[in-house]
């Protein structure tokens, strides 16, 4: 994926927009599919695993060591800064701007051309119900009060991003098409206006929402919000969750031009969704709020197409399941591409920071604003958290430096991959690199020791897990 490119940068904070620095940072950038880093950088990366993670897993107030390694001057942001948040279900980072060969995303690519791009972004979890509400709360699903269903209901004590913004005087509005987003499940708490949109298509009645097209009515709802003077005359947060790329992969006349195999049909769903995202972006461009609106676009999780003998998402923590795109357009911020791996746990603190609001005190993520405005943030570990549920065994992934640890909790077994040398996760290093394994396990244990798990009350049987 992406053009062959390797860049080794030595960045020392000096001049320009960078006015304060705590040191000189060596930043490595190479795209998936590109050449691996030279041996000299492998040694450095190996060394990183000896650094204890300290309070990385701790709640927000104790993140003292996470100071950015360079602090840019933040430009004055427009008054009444507002937010258009676009989430797309089941969205792999295989898009035009990342070098994907099929022309599936001209509108997302245009947004990317003026955005800050995180080219290695990770979801918090492996499927919608453990990925979306945790993203809105900046917490891990294991620790969030919820019920025991696959379609998890999150209890009101969870503080969602829209609640924070609404409390701060934002108009909050959202649209989705899947019943998971219905108000009683708690995911959309804080949205003063919420529309569960209809569907299009000629499948028989009773078919699931995945068997019908939803992007057009979703985009229509978002456009109506953007054309609503009550909403856009002030500060607003508009969130729309697109669903069409989710299986079942449907055909869309004019968009499903890549063939009939599952991946080709999936790509047609992406192209169809992108078309309707383009309509929303054009509505924003025509709005008087266009020059004061941040646009964020991401996915809730990826999709497997047999890379590890597995299709769909959920259950497994391979990169094809948990990597997603992440773009943020901020008026006045220079477009750039950032290679540091990031997690969607950082999205809510970033939006709150840009809004001039403190992160929630229980937030696990941190604001990306220093990086958005040209600075550098230190690499931070990434946790992928799949709690036990009726369908999936508990698993966690932990990424530190180039290493990704897979932990199957029920069997207490580990795998270890070097994502820089082996982005396809084909060469398990757990036996051949015991020292590296021990170091990463140590960091992982410290990280997760600070997460207090919430165990949902069992109201349904959980079948014997099959890891």
Binding residues (CB under 5 A) for Zn ion: these are 89, 128, 300
Comparing CB distances to Zn ion, the nearer of 313 and 388 is 313
Comparing CB distances to Zn ion, the nearer of 322 and 405 is 322
Comparing CB distances to Zn ion, the nearer of 208 and 332 is 208
Question: Would you state the structure tokens that stand for residue 186, as one six-digit string?
Answer: 């708690």
Comparing CB distances to Zn ion, the nearer of 226 and 321 is 321
Rounded least distance, CB 301 to Zn ion, Å: 5
Rounded least distance, CB 25 to Zn ion, Å: 35
Comparing CB distances to Zn ion, the nearer of 189 and 300 is 300
Q: Which residue has the CB atom at the shortest distance from Zn ion?
A: 128
Rounded least distance, CB 90 to Zn ion, Å: 5
Rounded least distance, CB 290 to Zn ion, Å: 29
Comparing CB distances to Zn ion, the nearer of 116 and 322 is 322
Rounded least distance, CB 215 to Zn ion, Å: 15
Which phi and psi (to 5°) does residue 10 adopt?
A: -110, 115
Rounded least distance, CB 324 to Zn ion, Å: 10
Comparing CB distances to Zn ion, the nearer of 178 and 415 is 178
Question: Would you state the structure tokens that stand for residue 52, as one six-digit string?
Answer: 């204890």
Comparing CB distances to Zn ion, the nearer of 89 and 366 is 89
Rounded least distance, CB 326 to Zn ion, Å: 15
Rounded least distance, CB 182 to Zn ion, Å: 15
């Amino acid at each position: 994926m992406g053009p062959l490119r390797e860049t080794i940068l030595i960045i020392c904070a000096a001049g320009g927009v960078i006015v304060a620095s705590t040191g000189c940072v060596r930043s490595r950038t190479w795209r998936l599919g590109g050449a691996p880093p030279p041996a000299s950088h492998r040694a450095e990366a190996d060394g990183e695993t000896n650094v204890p993670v300290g309070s990385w897993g701790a709640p927000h107030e104790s993140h003292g060591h996470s100071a950015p390694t360079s602090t840019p001057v933040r430009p004055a942001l427009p008054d009444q800064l507002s937010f258009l948040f676009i989430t797309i279900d089941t969205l792999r980072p295989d898009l035009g701007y990342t070098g994907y060969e099929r022309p599936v995303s001209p509108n997302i690519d245009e947004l990317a051309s003026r955005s800050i791009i995180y080219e290695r972004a990770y979801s918090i979890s492996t499927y919608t119900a453990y990925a979306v509400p945790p993203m809105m709360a900046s917490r891990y699903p294991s620790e969030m009060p919820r019920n025991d269903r696959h379609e998890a209901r999150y209890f009101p004590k969870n503080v969602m991003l829209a609640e924070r913004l609404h409390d701060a005087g934002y108009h909050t509005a959202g649209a989705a098409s899947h019943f998971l987003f219905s108000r009683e499940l708690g995911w959309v708490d804080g949205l003063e206006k919420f529309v569960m949109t209809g569907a299009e298509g000629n499948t028989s009645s009773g078919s699931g929402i995945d068997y019908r097209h939803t992007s057009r009515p979703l985009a229509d709802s978002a456009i109506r919000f953007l054309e609503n003077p009550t909403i856009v005359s002030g500060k607003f947060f508009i969130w729309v969750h697109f669903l069409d790329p989710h299986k079942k992969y449907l055909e869309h006349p004019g968009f499903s031009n890549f063939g009939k195999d599952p991946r080709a049909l999936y790509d047609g769903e992406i192209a169809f969704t992108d078309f309707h995202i383009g309509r929303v972006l054009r509505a924003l461009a025509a709005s008087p709020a266009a020059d004061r609106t941040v646009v964020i676009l991401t996915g809730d999780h990826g999709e497997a197409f047999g890379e590890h003998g597995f299709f769909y998402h959920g259950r497994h923590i391979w990169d094809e399941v948990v990597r997603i795109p992440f773009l943020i357009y901020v008026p006045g911020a220079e477009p750039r591409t950032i290679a540091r791996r990031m997690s969607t746990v950082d999205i809510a603190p970033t939006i709150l920071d840009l809004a001039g609001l403190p992160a929630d005190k229980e937030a696990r993520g941190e604001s990306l604003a220093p990086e958005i405005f040209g600075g550098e943030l230190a690499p931070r570990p990434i946790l992928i958290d799949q709690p036990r549920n009726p369908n999936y065994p508990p698993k966690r992934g932990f990424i530190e430096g180039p290493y990704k640890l897979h932990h199957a909790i029920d069997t207490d077994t580990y795998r270890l991959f070097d994502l820089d040398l082996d982005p396809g996760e084909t060469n398990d290093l757990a036996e051949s690199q015991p020292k590296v394994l021990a170091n990463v396990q140590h960091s992982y244990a410290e990280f997760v020791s600070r997460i207090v798990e919430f165990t949902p009350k069992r109201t349904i049987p959980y079948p014997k897990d099959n890891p």
